[in-house]
Structures are given as C-alpha cells and as structure tokens.
C-alpha cells in the first residue's frame, strides 16, 4: 500500500489525501496575493512614513477588518469577534516576519501553512456549535499571543535605521 492510514474509532485519514490537499491551490491560494498586498505593498509604502508600531497596526487593521466578512462559521457577534483573533494574531506574526526579514516570502509560507494546518486540524477537531466560541477563543488566543510577542520583539529590537530615522555615525570602534 502506497499511502499510510491512521484510524480511530470513527474516522480514517489517508496520508495521501492530506498530502494531495496540502499541495493544492485551494489551501494556499490566498497566501500569495494577500501577503504581497498587505505585507509587501502596504508595509513597504508605510515604512519610513510611520513608526514600526504604526506600520504593524496599519497592516493588522487593513488585513483584519475584511475578515469580518469571512465564512468563519461564526453565528453570533461574539463568535465573529472571537474569530477576528485569528487574522489579527496572524497579521501580527506575518508583519513581524516581514519587518524582520525584509521579505514577504516567510509570511507567504506561514500563511499557506496556516491554511493547510487549519484544514488538517479540521480532520481531527470539529467543534460542536455550542463550543465553537470557546474553540475560537483558545486557538485565536494562542495565535494572538504568539503574534503579539513576535511583533513586540521586532518593533522593540529593530535597528534605528529601520524605524525611519537616520543611521547613526560610527566612531570607528565598529559600533554604530
């Protein structure tokens, strides 16, 4: 047998199914255009015009707000707000990658990986409607915490020249 299978009491998952779906465009398609727009064009345009925290906030806001219209499965206003933790946390993380590396490619890779992992996780975890809000709070809360930590780390540790100010003159000691 070419594909390995995992079985549980009520379901069977073929590794080949996961691998073939993970490689298709339906899971990765949003990553490239969204990252080119939000972390490429928008961040590049804002750099030097806004402080890094402002660039980050703008990227998060412009990326997060359209996700209010997303097909998230949220039924109530509270669930829609909890769902926003996911794109906000992700946008913080992706913007931190973009600012730290100067490239959109790490954010594209993580964005595509997020879509694939969300699909794979759905094979194992499908929350009941009455627990969907708690599910969003936990998953979104973790992503928000990781994204916030990454964004704070990058914004506070970037060199002064990257924050839109002029680079400092060297005194010849090898230090800026």
Q: pLDDT digits over 89-129, tens only? A: 999 999 999 999 999 999 988 888 887 777 777 777 778 88
Q: Is the pLDDT of residue 169 over 70?
A: no
Number of domains in the chain: 1
Note down the domain range covering 125.
Answer: 31-163
Does a structural domain hold residue 20?
no
| pLDDT for res 20 | 52
Angle at 69 between CA 150 and CA 108, to 5 degrees: 40
Does a structural domain hold residue 4?
no
| pLDDT for res 15 | 53
Calculated CA dihedral for residues 29, 153, 60, 168, nearest 10 degrees: -100
Does a structural domain hold residue 145?
yes
| pLDDT for res 61 | 93
| pLDDT for res 145 | 94
What is the rounded distance in angstroms from the CA atom of residue 93 to the CA atom of residue 140?
13
Secondary element (H or E) of residue 5: strand 5-7
Kindly state the average pLDDT of the residues 84-89. Answer: 91
| pLDDT for res 77 | 87
Does a structural domain hold residue 6?
no
| pLDDT for res 113 | 81
Q: Is the pLDDT of residue 62 over 80?
A: yes
Main-chain dihedrals φ then ψ at residue 30, nearest 5 degrees: -70, -25
Does a structural domain hold residue 171?
no
Does a structural domain hold residue 158?
yes
Does a structural domain hold residue 119?
yes
Best CA proximity match to 154, nearest among 142, 143, 145, 163: 163
Kindly report, residue by residue over 3-56, the tens digit of the pLDDT.
Answer: 444 444 444 555 555 555 544 545 456 788 889 999 999 999 999 999 999 999
pLDDT band for 74, please (50, 70, 90 cuts).
Answer: confident
Does a structural domain hold residue 114?
yes
pTM: 0.71
């Amino acid at each position: 047998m070419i594909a390995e299978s995992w079985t549980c009491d009520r379901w069977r998952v073929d590794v080949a199914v996961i691998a073939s779906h993970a490689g298709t465009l339906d899971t990765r398609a949003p990553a490239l255009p969204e990252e080119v727009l939000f972390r490429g064009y928008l961040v590049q345009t804002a750099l030097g015009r806004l402080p890094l925290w402002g660039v980050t906030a703008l990227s998060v806001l412009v990326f997060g707000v359209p996700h209010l219209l997303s097909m998230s499965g949220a039924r109530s206003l509270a669930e829609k707000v909890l769902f926003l933790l996911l794109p906000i946390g992700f946008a913080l993380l992706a913007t931190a990658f973009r600012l730290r590396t100067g490239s959109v490619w790490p954010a594209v890779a993580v964005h595509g990986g997020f879509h694939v992992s969300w699909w794979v996780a759905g094979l194992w975890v499908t929350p009941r409607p009455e627990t969907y809000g708690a599910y969003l709070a936990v998953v979104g809360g973790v992503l928000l915490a990781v994204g916030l930590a990454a964004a704070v780390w990058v914004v506070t540790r970037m060199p002064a020249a990257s924050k839109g100010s002029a680079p400092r003159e060297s005194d010849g000691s090898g230090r800026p």
